């Protein structure tokens, strides 16, 4: 079992790489491997994604091991994610709004291509009304030949729009490819209370079966 004091050291690591979860940055992370949750096994802690104020997914696949002599976590490796606006190339983005039932769902279908390497993490975040999506290409390992072959891809990326209010929203992909969509009604139901916000006070008692 990881003791609480060990976890505190983990949060210290987050501070060292300037992670800041402020404003309306989402906790939601869509990874190509569908395995972006931190995991611990056999004394090794892996954090697939670390955000900074300037860039979501700025650091990836951080690996830490616990040193009992130091009574602290030791960073073994971390991969800075340097996004290249020319690789991948985004050819088109389509917005799909599923509003025939409630709550509304929003998806982006991204079509693009890249050279060398392979498709990596796909991370999403939000600052106020702007959704930021970063699509990573994992470079070709050193010693391997990078060919000029073009690999095409299509990815459907869900946007976490639950609890958002009526209004206009924007998105960007890898710093460009700007687009917009609108929510025609507040996208929230069945939640109230538990905060000091007057809007969160229940108007009627909520009962369950």
Mean of pLDDT over the chain: 78
DSSP state letters, 108-119? EEEEEEEESSEE
Read off the pLDDT band of 199 (50, 70, 90).
low
Report pLDDT digits (tens) over 60-99.
889 999 988 999 999 999 888 776 667 798 999 999 999 9
**Token representation of residue 131:** 């959704």
What SS3 class is residue 6?
Answer: helix
pLDDT band with cut points at 50, 70 and 90 for residue 204 = low
Query: What pLDDT, on the 0 to 100 scale, is given for residue 51?
Result: 85
Range from 36-45, 101-110, 168-177, 195-204 carrying the lowest mean pLDDT: 195-204
Do the strands 130-138 and 167-173 form a parallel or antiparallel pair, or are they unpaired?
Answer: parallel
CA separation for the pair 205, 188 (Å, rounded): 17
Distance of CA 127 to the CA centre of its chain: 12
Do residues 91 and 111 make contact, with C-beta atoms less than 8 angstroms apart?
yes
Give the pLDDT band (50/70/90) at residue 16: very low
The C-alpha torsion from 28 through 34 and 40 to 46, rounded to 10°, is -80
User: Could you read off the pLDDT of 119-150 as tens digits, one per residue?
Assistant: 888 999 999 999 999 998 887 878 888 877 88
Model confidence at 201, pLDDT cuts 50, 70, 90, reads low
Q: What is the pLDDT of residue 120?
A: 86
* pLDDT number for residue 98: 94
How do residues 36-55 score in pLDDT, each as one tens digit? 789 898 889 999 888 888 88
Q: What are the extents of the domains in the chain?
A: 4-80, 89-183
CA dihedral 38, 42, 43, 45 (to 10 degrees): -10
> Over the stretch 152-177, which tens digit does the pLDDT of each residue have?
999 999 999 999 999 999 999 988 88
* pLDDT above 50: residue 29: no
């Amino acid at each position: 079992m990881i003791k609480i004091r060990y976890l505190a050291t983990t949060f210290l690591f987050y501070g060292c790489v300037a992670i800041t979860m402020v404003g309306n940055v989402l906790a939601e992370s869509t990874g190509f491997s569908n395995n972006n949750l931190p995991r611990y096994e056999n004394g090794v802690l892996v954090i697939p994604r670390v955000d900074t104020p300037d860039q979501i997914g700025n650091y990836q696949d951080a690996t830490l091991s616990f040193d009992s002599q130091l009574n602290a976590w030791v960073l073994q490796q971390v991969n800075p994610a340097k996004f290249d606006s020319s690789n991948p190339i985004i050819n088109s983005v389509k917005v799909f709004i599923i509003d025939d039932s409630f709550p509304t769902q929003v998806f982006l279908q991204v079509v693009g291509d890249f050279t060398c390497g392979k498709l990596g993490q796909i991370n999403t975040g939000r600052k106020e009304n702007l959704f930021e999506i970063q699509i990573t290409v994992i470079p070709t390992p050193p010693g391997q030949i990078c060919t000029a072959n073009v690999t095409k891809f299509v990815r459907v990326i869900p946007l976490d729009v639950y609890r958002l209010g009526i209004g206009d929203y924007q998105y960007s992909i890898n710093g460009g490819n700007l687009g917009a969509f609108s929510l025609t009604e507040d996208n929230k139901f069945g939640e109230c209370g538990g905060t000091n916000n007057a809007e969160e006070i229940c108007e009627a008692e909520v009962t369950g079966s």
